[in-house]
Amino acid sequence: MIEDEYDESIEEETPTFHFVVGETEMGERIDKFLNNKISDQSRTYFGDLCDEERVRVDGRVTRKAHRVLKGENVLVFMTQNVPETIMPEKIDLKIIYEDSDILAISKPPGMVVHPAPGNWNGTFANGLLNHLNENERNDWSKENNMRPGIVHRIDKGTSGVLLAAKNPIIQKKLSQMFQERSIEKTYLAICAGNPRDAQISVPIGRHPTNRQKMVAIDKDQPEVRSRNALSHVKTMAFDGGLSVIEVKIVTGRTHQIRVHMQHNKTPIIGDSLYGNNDWNRRMLKRGIDRPMLHAFQLKFSHPLTSIETEITAPLPNDMAKIVCSIFPSAPYKFPTWFDDIMANDESFGVSKSESLMKEAGLELTDWY
């Protein structure tokens, strides 16, 4: 695919820096190139700027992995009030797995994973630093890393398993495992309509006008910059209006499941960016203002011990209640989806679904 995106959102801004790539700099990654030019900011910071589309090469936004060529014009639009280091913060982390090298939490909806423009504190990474011991924190301070421990990301509105490394060596190993797709990722979601069982293999690229949004790219648009994306969808239940689905993603593109389900005409409910407006209005009346998407499970071979490791995060209450209204027998058939809700409760199956629905003031017909 041709890399040919242009972002008009900062077209009228004056660039903070303008560089022309010299012969001795050819082949460097652009985040490293900029870090060498502007040494008071970290390489991670410049990678973030690329992600935020605030770096241009010959007038086009660029990926942080781009390797610069002699004569290219590089414009940098710096963000203001950027902290030089990430600080530990006392944040309540719901830890669901921990050993000497890795940690996993059940991320609540609304939590941001790491510092970035617009969210420089109050993130999971800040809370992780606070959780680590002094020696572990010192390891990260030597790295000058604004994303300590981070090996993958989950959207702000998405809940579920978030895996992290407790030291830089394991961070590199886990990051490589995600890149090599050796970590199996399973999500649960609620969508409008019935997607049945489907394999969705559609490339994803940046929306041409809304820079915060991604879009499925048809194969007859080879001139549009995009990346291959593959999602396996399994419909667990359909009640005539909504479906509970399980999605295994092979790739890990930005907003992948949300974009693929929109492209499939069965959008995730509660999703203000990719969802159906009518369903979203109904969800807002029930207090649902986020996508009903949950990172349920990660499976992988432990990077040090090679032990097969499986980490799951039960559904949060807001999503569990809707799942039970669609799929009343779900707590009986899939009890691990509801571990948190069923703690110390021996009632399973339809009776539990009914009690959850009653708590939420719901009937099966309430969603229509």
Residues that are catalytic? 155
DSSP H or E segment with residue 214: strand 214-216
- Please name the residues in contact with 348: beta carbons below 8 A apart, sequence gap of 6 or more: 331, 332, 335, 342
Contact 231/241 with Cβ under 8 angstroms?
no
- Spatial separation of the C-alpha atoms in residues 352 and 354, rounded to whole Å: 5
- Please name the residues in contact with 293: beta carbons below 8 A apart, sequence gap of 6 or more: 155, 157, 158, 159, 187, 188, 189, 257, 258, 268, 271
Give the pairing type, strands 159-165 and 293-301. Answer: parallel
Q: What is the DSSP string of 27-82?
A: T-BHHHHHHHHSTTS-HHHHHHHHHTT-EEETTEE--TTPBP-TT-EEEE-PPSS-
The answer to whether the Cα torsion of 276, 281, 282, 288 is positive or negative is positive
Give the pairing type, strands 95-98 and 102-107. Answer: antiparallel
Tokens for 291, please give them. 């996508």
Specify the amino acid at residue 43. Answer: R
